[in-house]
């Protein structure tokens, strides 16, 4: 995994039972809210976070963990810097649910 | 490193796997890697015991028909559980070369594959632990029927 | 259509029970994710961008109204009320939870359905012509052979850990609507002068990173030899296919590296050694299967009912739909009604639970309770009376299913892309929507005529972009989506791989670029009958490049 990404990083994964996208917050807890994620700001910190994330994997809580780069917007909110992660967090960029389509 | 046969762990497997440096013992059951078979042929000719051959999975089985005909056991490899070459090798051995002695698979065997391996002709499984006899039995019997009829299996087939 | 007997039903139920056991072992931690992944994939369960995804098999694209209703029920109960029909004639659910999957499989088994081998490095769902059995240009019905292959390939003990996935398609018609040339094995059913059936067998076709058109290696293989011949091909591939590099592991690479002649010789060598009598379908089995595909009880009808003529004259929208969506049936007075899942600015291939139920009702009322799914992600009512077409259309139209665009520029094949897919490099659906918006006028569409646009969100080419008359491939350039355009591909009997036109376009510019290409085509064509693809073949890429890039 030791892909050296440039920038601050957050660990993400998906819940084994549900498949939902989650982010790692303090003490290796997993939350659907990106804002509660712990940010690694140095290679050492990211490495420590990864060790914690892998614990979630070995405990069969999350699967497919990886880090991605985040930045803070003006309001201080954590946001991903790549479109893939944006879509992963916000959901499909299209109107996809039939009820939502009907309501259009 | 359990060896599983007939759904149970074999406690005292008689087979000794030979390596490069080892001398062929004068007696006992030995498995010799295919690559060493010709080199050690002379020693083996007056060996007192059964002889098995370990065949790598990139070998064309049909090229060794004569040698295979003399073997008491053939061991095929599953270096990773996703590498399925041994399944076809096994079928060639059983169906084309008529090999009818013990056929063993060694390597990365998952319990969920054992039923398929068995149906391709394997009788014994040599893999890195853990072995749970109950899961093994359940997994091997969970599917009772098969669409492919010619295999060495005890499954039900349509109309039968 | 084929109906399960006790044997099939037990098999599918046991398979569902097996998966339940595997899921339980995974959740308890007895299986690691690495061990579980190939097991779940062999049952159609992926992990996608937002959630798990389940792909359910619709063998050769045929399903009953009851099965369709169950698919709708599953969409509502376990998902978000919709499903996505794929280019492999299957359906995908985008939001199931792993813990619910065993229950979903039980619900599928209740109606004789499953998710066996819809993914994984094994023999995938066999696909076929969506008009099989009813097309006017058919030599013979391929479905009995497709069903035979479905059964033979299910949980195949020897071929479940192949180097890579393996796709088989079969067609029995002159015109290839199953894209057999782009499959690992493509089969064309033939009939000789004496009326005997045989199969021409093509191998090594595929899209993805290295698109290739399949080569013919088997000439008029007899019905009796079909399974042994397939076994010989699969065995050659299983033993010799590359396993060192995922991108070189498909059979097309083996055939290419070895040479088609040498590969053919190897297959024949293995074939010669097989104990064929033991490997053939058992005596009577094919006949048993074929009975299920006998013609339904067609009535003797007028060839051209006056009611249809009048309705078309009175209603322009209906007339446009008939012209575009209705195809010739082999039986007088009947027609094939194609239902477009490509509404203007919709999501190609998606259908809501309500739409699925409506189509099921239409099938019950007007088409012997049977529905087809096409590889172009549309649905088909294969046996409707011409005199019922107007009623059917009205119901479809009222539920967003009456789009008159089959084979037209807005009938695009589109993969899920970055909106859903974990492997994607760019989005596909919004691009399709922009193009659909640009060409939404049905007058403009009919002026343009037949034009197939196919869009993939990454090099894996699930959207078949190489086979599009216009192909669009989404890529990522330093975090920005951009799109490469190819021209001249074709997935039919004159299969060809499209060629890249030049530098790519941003998401905002793709639709305009397509517009420019279409305008140039209209200028270049010698008559209305000369299609886009004909023109590309006649004039080459240059005039199109010029149109796109000249003033840049
Ligand atoms: S082509 Fe790529 S993006 Fe599209 S579905 Fe296939 S893997 Fe996903």
C436 with C497, same domain: the answer is yes
pLDDT at C442: 86
Cβ neighbours of A60 in C, within 8 Å: 26-27, 29
Does residue C299 lie in a domain region? no
Residues 6+ apart with CB under 8 A from B117: B86, B87, B90, B105, B109, B125, C157
Residue B148 included in any domain? no
User: Looking at CA atoms only, how far is residue B2 from chain C in angstroms?
Assistant: 18
Output the ligand 1 site: residues, CB below 6 A: C 415-417, 421, 423-424, 456-458, 460-463
pLDDT digits (tens, 9 = 90+) for A56-93: 999 999 999 999 999 999 999 999 999 999 999 999 99
- State the residue range of the domain holding C342: 306-398
State which H helix or E strand residue C191 sits in. strand C185-191
Q: Which two tokens stand for residue A14?
A: 């998906």
CA-based nearest residue in chain A for residue C99: A17
C185: CATH:
3.30.413.10
For residues C433 and C411, what is the distance between their CA atoms, to the nearest angstrom? Answer: 11
- Rg, C-alpha atoms of chain C: 23
* Total domains, chain B: 1
How far apart are the C-alpha atoms of C380 and C374, rounded to whole Å?
7
What's the token pair of residue C410? 């807005």
* Same domain (yes/no): C239, C161: yes
Which residue of chain A has the CA closest to C48?
Answer: A19
Q: C93 and C60 in one domain?
A: yes
CATH assignment of the domain containing C345: 3.90.480.20
Cα C108–C113–C114 angle (5° rounding)? 85
Q: Is residue B72 part of a domain?
A: yes
Measuring CA to CA, which residue among C186, C219, C254 is closest to residue C492?
C186
The reply to whether C300 falls in a domain is no
pLDDT tens digits, one per residue of B47-61: 889 999 999 999 999
Laid out side by side, the sheet with C82-85 consists of: C45-47, C52-56, C91-93, C82-85, C350-352
Same domain, C367 and C425: no
Q: Quick check: is C467 in a domain?
A: yes
Do residues C313 and C394 share a domain? Answer: yes
Are residues B143 and B153 in contact, defined by beta-carbon separation less than 8 angstroms? no
DSSP label of B25: P
Residues C349 and C453 in one domain: no
* Residue recorded with tokens 């549309």: C378
Interface predicted TM-score (ipTM) of this complex, two decimals? 0.96
Tens of pLDDT, residues B103-138: 999 999 999 999 999 999 999 999 997 899 999 999
> Could you tell me where the beta strands, DSSP code E, fall in chain A?
9-15, 21-24, 30-31, 62-72, 78-80
Of C264, C291, C318, the domain-final residue? C291
C119: in domain:
no
Q: With contacts defined as CB-CB under 8 Å, which chain C residues touch A17?
A: 27, 97-99
User: d(Cα C49, Cα A40) in Å, to the nearest integer?
Assistant: 23
| pLDDT value, residue C291 | 96
Q: Which helix (H) or strand (E) holds A100?
A: helix A98-103
CATH code, domain carrying B21: 3.20.20.70
Name every residue whose Cβ is closer than 8 Å to that of residue C497 and which is 6 or more positions away in sequence: C211, C212, C213, C466, C467, C489
**Tokens describing residue C63:** 């399903």
Which of the two residues, C36 and B24, has the higher pLDDT score? C36
CB-based contact C30 B135, cutoff 8 Å: yes
Task: Look up residue C438 and give its two tokens.
Answer: 């640009």
Does B153 fall in a domain?
A: no
C152 contacts chain B (CB < 8 A): yes
Instruction: Name residue C169's beta-bridge partners.
Output: C127, C186
Please choose, from the candidates B133, A13, A82, B138, the residue with its C-alpha nearest in 3D space to the C-alpha of residue C22: B138
C275 with C327, same domain: the answer is no
What is the least distance, in Å, from the CA of A67 to any CA of chain C?
15
Min distance A102 CA to chain C CA atoms (Å)? 10
- For B93, the domain range is 3-141
pLDDT of residue A1: 44
Tell me whether residues C354 and A84 touch, CB distance under 8 A.
no
Cα–Cα distance between C308 and A101 in angstroms, integer? Answer: 33
- What is the structure's pLDDT at A100? 64
Q: Which of C268, C291, C314 is the last residue of a domain?
A: C291
Q: Are both C162 and C280 inside the same structural domain?
A: yes
For residue B42, is it within any domain?
Answer: yes
Q: Is the dihedral of CA B146, B149, B150, B156 positive or negative?
A: positive
Domain count, chain C: 4
Look at residue A3 and tell me whether its pLDDT is greater than 60: no
Asked if residue B159 is part of any domain, the answer here is no
Of C550, C525, C527, the closest CA to residue C537 belongs to C525
Average of per-residue pLDDT values in chain B = 91
Which of B95, B138, B157 faces C21 most closely, judged by CB atoms? Answer: B138
Inside any domain, residue B78: yes
Residue in chain C closest to B117 (alpha carbons) equals C157
Q: Is pLDDT at A7 greater than 50 in this prediction?
A: yes
Instruction: Tell me, yes or no, if C232 comes closer than 8 A to chain B by beta carbon.
Output: no
**How far apart are alpha carbons C494 and C187 in whole angstroms?**
15
Q: Does C407 fall in a domain?
A: no
The answer to whether the CB of C125 falls within 8 A of the CB of C87 is: no
Q: CB atoms < 10 A from the CB of C533, how many? A: 22
Q: What is the pLDDT of residue A4?
A: 60
Q: Are A43 and A1 in contact (CB under 8 A)?
A: no
CA distance C467 to C489: 4
CB-defined contacts B:C, below 8 A: 100
Contact between residue B133 and residue B4 where contact means Cβ atoms under 8 Å apart: no
Separation between Cα atoms, residue C392 and residue C379, nearest integer Å: 13
Q: Is residue C492 part of a domain?
A: yes
Would you say residue A2 has pLDDT above 60?
A: no
Q: Residue B35 falls within a domain, yes or no? A: yes
Q: Which ligand 1 atom sits closest to the C-alpha of C474?
A: 3
In a mutational test of the B interface, the residue from C148, C158, C165, C227 whose CB has the highest number of chain B CBs within 10 Å is: C158
Cα B12 to Cα A58, B9, B15, B130, distances in angstroms: 34, 9, 9, 17
Within a domain: C118: no
Q: How far from chain centre, in Å, is Cα C218?
A: 24
Which residue ranges in chain C fall short of pLDDT 70? 551-552
Q: Which two tokens stand for residue B30?
A: 């030995």
Residues C443 and C528 in one domain: yes
């Amino acid at each position: 995994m030791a892909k050296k990404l440039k920038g601050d990083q957050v660990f993400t994964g998906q819940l084994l039972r549900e498949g939902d996208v989650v982010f790692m917050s303090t003490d290796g807890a997993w939350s659907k809210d990106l804002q509660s994620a712990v940010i690694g700001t140095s290679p050492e910190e990211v490495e420590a976070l990864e060790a914690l994330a892998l614990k979630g994997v070995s405990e069969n809580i999350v699967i497919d963990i990886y880090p991605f780069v985040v930045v803070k917007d003006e309001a201080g909110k954590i946001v991903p810097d790549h479109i893939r992660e944006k879509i992963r967090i916000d959901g499909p960029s299209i109107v996809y649910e039939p009820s939502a389509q009907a309501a259009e | 490193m359990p060896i599983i046969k007939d759904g149970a762990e074999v406690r005292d497997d008689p087979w000794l796997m030979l390596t490069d440096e080892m001398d062929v013992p004068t007696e006992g059951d030995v498995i010799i890697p295919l690559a060493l078979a010709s080199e050690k042929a002379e020693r083996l000719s007056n060996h007192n015991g059964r002889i098995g051959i370990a065949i790598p999975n990139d070998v064309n089985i049909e090229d060794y028909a004569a040698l295979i005909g003399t073997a008491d056991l053939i061991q095929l490899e599953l270096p990773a559980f996703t590498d399925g070459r041994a399944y076809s090798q096994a079928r060639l051995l059983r169906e084309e070369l008529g090999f009818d002695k013990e056929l063993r698979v060694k390597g990365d065997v998952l319990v969920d594959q054992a039923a398929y391996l068995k149906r391709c002709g394997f009788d014994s499984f040599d893999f890195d632990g853990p072995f749970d006899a109950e899961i093994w039995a359940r997994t091997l019997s969970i599917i009772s029927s098969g669409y492919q009829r010619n295999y060495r299996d005890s499954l039900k087939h349509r109309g039968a | 259509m084929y109906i399960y007997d006790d044997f099939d039903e037990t098999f599918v139920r046991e398979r569902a029970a097996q998966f339940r056991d595997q899921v339980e072992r995974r959740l308890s931690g007895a299986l690691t994710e690495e061990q579980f992944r190939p097991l779940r994939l062999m049952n159609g369960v992926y992990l996608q961008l937002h959630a798990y995804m389940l792909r359910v098999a619709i063998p050769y694209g045929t399903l009953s109204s009851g099965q369709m209703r169950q698919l709708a029920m599953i969409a509502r109960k376990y998902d978000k009320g919709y499903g996505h029909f794929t280019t492999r004639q299957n359906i995908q659910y985008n939001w199931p939870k792993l813990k619910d999957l065993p229950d979903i499989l039980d619900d599928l088994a209740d109606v004789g359905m499953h998710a066996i081998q819809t993914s994984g490095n094994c023999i995938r769902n066999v696909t076929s012509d969506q008009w099989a059995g009813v097309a006017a240009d058919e030599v013979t019905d391929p479905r009995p052979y497709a069903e035979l292959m479905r059964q033979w390939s299910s949980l195949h003990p020897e071929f479940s850990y192949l180097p890579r996935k393996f796709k088989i398609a079969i067609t029995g018609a002159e015109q290839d609507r199953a894209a057999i040339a782009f499959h690992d094995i493509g089969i064309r059913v033939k009939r000789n002068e004496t009326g005997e059936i045989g199969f021409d067998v093509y191998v090594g076709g595929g899209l993805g990173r290295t698109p290739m058109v399949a080569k013919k290696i088997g000439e008029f293989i007899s019905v009796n030899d079909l399974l042994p011949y397939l076994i010989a091909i699969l065995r050659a591939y299983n033993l010799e296919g590359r396993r060192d590099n995922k991108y070189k592991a498909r059979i097309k690479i083996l055939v290419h590296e070895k040479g088609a002649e040498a590969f053919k010789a190897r297959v024949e060598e293995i074939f010669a050694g097989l104990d064929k009598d033991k490997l053939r379908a058992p005596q009577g089995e094919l006949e048993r299967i074929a009975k299920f595909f006998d013609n339904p009880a067609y009535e003797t009808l007028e060839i051209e009912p006056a009611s249809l003529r009048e309705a078309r004259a009175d209603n322009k929208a209906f007339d446009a739909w008939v012209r575009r969506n209705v195809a010739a049936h082999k039986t007088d007075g009947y027609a094939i009604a194609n239902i477009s899942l490509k509404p203007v600015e919709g999501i190609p291939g998606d259908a809501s639970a309500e739409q699925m139920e409506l189509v099921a009702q239409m099938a019950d009322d007007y088409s012997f309770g049977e529905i087809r799914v096409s590889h172009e992600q549309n649905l088909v009512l294969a046996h409707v009376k011409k005199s019922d077409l107007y009623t059917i259309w009205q119901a479809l139209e009222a539920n967003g299913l009456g789009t008159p665009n089959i084979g037209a520029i807005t009938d695009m094949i589109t993969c899920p892309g970055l909106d859903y897919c974990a492997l994607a490099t760019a989005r596909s659906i919004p691009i399709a929507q922009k193009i659909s918006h640009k060409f939404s006028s049905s007058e403009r569409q009919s002026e343009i005529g037949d034009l197939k646009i196919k869009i993939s969100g990454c090099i894996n080419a699930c959207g078949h972009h190489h086979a599009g008359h216009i192909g669009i491939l989404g890529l990522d350039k330093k975090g920005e989506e951009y799109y490469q355009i190819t021209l001249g591909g074709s997935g039919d009997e004159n299969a060809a791989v499209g060629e890249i036109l030049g530098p790519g376009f941003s998401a905002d510019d793709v639709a305009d670029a397509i517009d420019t290409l279409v305008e140039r085509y209209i200028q270049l064509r010698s008559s209305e009958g000369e299609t886009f693809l004909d023109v590309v073949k006649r004039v080459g890429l240059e005039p199109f490049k010029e149109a796109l890039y000249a003033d840049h």
